[in-house]
Structure 1
Amino acid sequence: MPETADPIVTAAEIAALIDHAILKPDLTRAEVDADLDMAARYGIFSVCVRPSDVAHAVRRLSGSGVAVGTVIGFPHGTTTTQAKAAETVQALADGAVEFDMVLNIGRLRSGLIGDVEADIAAVVEAAAGHVVKVILETALLDEEQIAAGSQAAERAGAAFVKTSTGFAGGGATVDHLRLMRASVGPRVQVKASGGVRDLDTLLAMREVGVSRFGTSATATILDDAAAREAGGPGTGASDTSSY
């Protein structure tokens, strides 16, 4: 992706936009802890961890100012609505404050919008006023389905629409993000995830209205932002992680 016209940005400003993803199924406890400690060191907005890691992450990040979120129905979105709601209730009890749920992709592609909306609404209700972000998995959808899924999420009370899990062979694109932003009202925010691996990509996506970014390339992005803030050229390097 080409560089943005204005690369001047503060590292703190970018850190406030990042949900650091700690979601790979094979991560060890030591690897999870290393990422949690990195998140605290950089002062990012939040981490998004596997459901089984929520209570541990909350304890380890206590006092750091970094929020803990988790995923629901991840990564396929095919668990029942009741299971998604129960997973949300448990994660809330464990201390999670944000919930990134995967909608039922097959039902969205089938045009069963009422089912999709009800699935989201159940998670919103279970989250008891906390932030719910709805993952569309845009790589598997056409433009009409992206718009319909975004609008269903808004009607169901979600706070964000989000592009991707990072596990479906495709991630966020500027065109899809622009479409999502245009499909919902100003109350609903847009999160980009999947393939956000460098600062220039993040800045380009922010320009089309993205207000949160899911990435595992947090250190790469923030080190580049700090270098530019200090007057250097930055690295422009891309992280090779999948999320």
Structure 2
Amino acid sequence: MNNLSSYIDHTLLSPVASETDIRKICEEAWIHEFKAICIAPTYVPYAVEMMEFCPVKIEIATVIGFPLGYATTNTKIAETQHALANGATELDVVMNISQFKSMAYMSVREELQQLAAISRSNNALLKVIIETAYLDSFELYTACEICAEAGADFVKTSTGFAPKGAEVEIVRKMRSILPSNVKIKASGGIRDYEQAMAMIDAGADRIGTSAGIALVGRA
């Protein structure tokens, strides 16, 4: 697949990632023309500066409410506003899984609606991480519906911090549930070309991975 790079969110969210590591991620994204880099909020201004003169548009993605999702709505709003002000163009927000498990679906939807509205007003994309490892079939269906109703641009499988990451069959189910205008980001444990291609074949529009170089090396 010649354009695999255009699917990849080149990701580094390790708690011990240094500025030197972020610089390397930016350089690799530049060289391989990845779709986006996904980094911690504290490094967004640095990444924006690093990518300023890149001849190819590479999105700057960061995370909100990461990795557990149970920050308050006001905290997530503040994180979102700061990330956008610093130059982020895509936001990967963790759904409040605790509230979702409590069946507080309206609260979950309202929070995501607010974040989607802020993102839209800043021409940014909102990707909602539903952490599929913690969801049964009914919950997966419900979470996807809530994300679509809230105006999410993407629904994302995983943070990479849960017991399991992306699974082909789950991505396929998500694609069958979500309307065509809502895309899917498969992430968590995708470390080789075969896995990435299986996710794309199942309906993924983005691949979130820290192994982007290995993936495109096989493309």
Which has a greater percent of helix? 2
How do residues 158-173 of structure 1 correspond to structure 2 at under 5 angstroms?
Answer: 158-173=152-167
* Residue 69 (structure 1) aligns with: 61
Question: Percent identity among equivalent residues?
Answer: 37
TM-score normalised by structure 2 residue count: 0.96
> Larger Cα Rg: Structure 1 or Structure 2?
1
Give distance in 2, aligned partners of 1:159 and 1:74: 18
- 1:49 Cα shift? 0.8
**1:109-120 mapped onto 2 (5 Å cutoff):** 109-120=101-112
Q: CA RMSD in A?
A: 0.9
1:79-116: CA deviation from partner (whole Å, max 9, x where unpaired) = 01111111111110100000000000011122211111
CA distance in 2, matches of 1:185, 1:42: 31
Query: In the comparison of the two structures, how many residue pairs are matched?
Result: 215
Task: Tell me which amino acid in the other structure corresponds to 1:215.
Answer: T
Runs of 4+ off more than 6 Å: none
> TM-score normalized by structure 1?
0.86
Partner of 1:228: none
Give the corresponding residue for 1:103.
95
Amino acid at match of 2:59: A
What is the alpha-carbon distance in structure 1 between the residues aligned to residue 97 and residue 113 of structure 2?
Answer: 15
Q: 2:23 aligns with which of 21, 33, 43?
A: 33
Corresponding residue for residue 90 of structure 1 = 82
1:190 aligns with 2:184: yes
Work out the CA distance in 2 between the residues paired with 1:58 and 1:37.
12
Q: Which residue of 2 aligns with 1:21?
A: 11
Q: Deviations over 1:13-39 (max 9, x none)?
A: 100001111111111111111111111
User: Cα distance, 1:41 vs. partner?
Assistant: 1.0
| Residue identity matched to 2:9 | D
Amino acid corresponding to residue 125 of structure 1 in structure 2: A
Q: Which residues of structure 2 form unaligned runs of 5+?
A: none
2:124 to 115, 125, 130: 130
Q: Aligned AA for 1:155?
A: E
Alpha-carbon separation, structure 1, partners of 2:154 and 2:117: 15
Secondary structure in 2 aligned to 1:16? helix
For residues 177 and 105 of structure 2, the distance between their equivalents in structure 1, rounded to whole angstroms, comes to: 15
1:44 equivalent among 12, 25, 34: 34
**How far did 1:63 drift?**
2.2
What stretches of structure 1 of length at least 5 have no aligned partner?
Answer: 1-8, 226-243
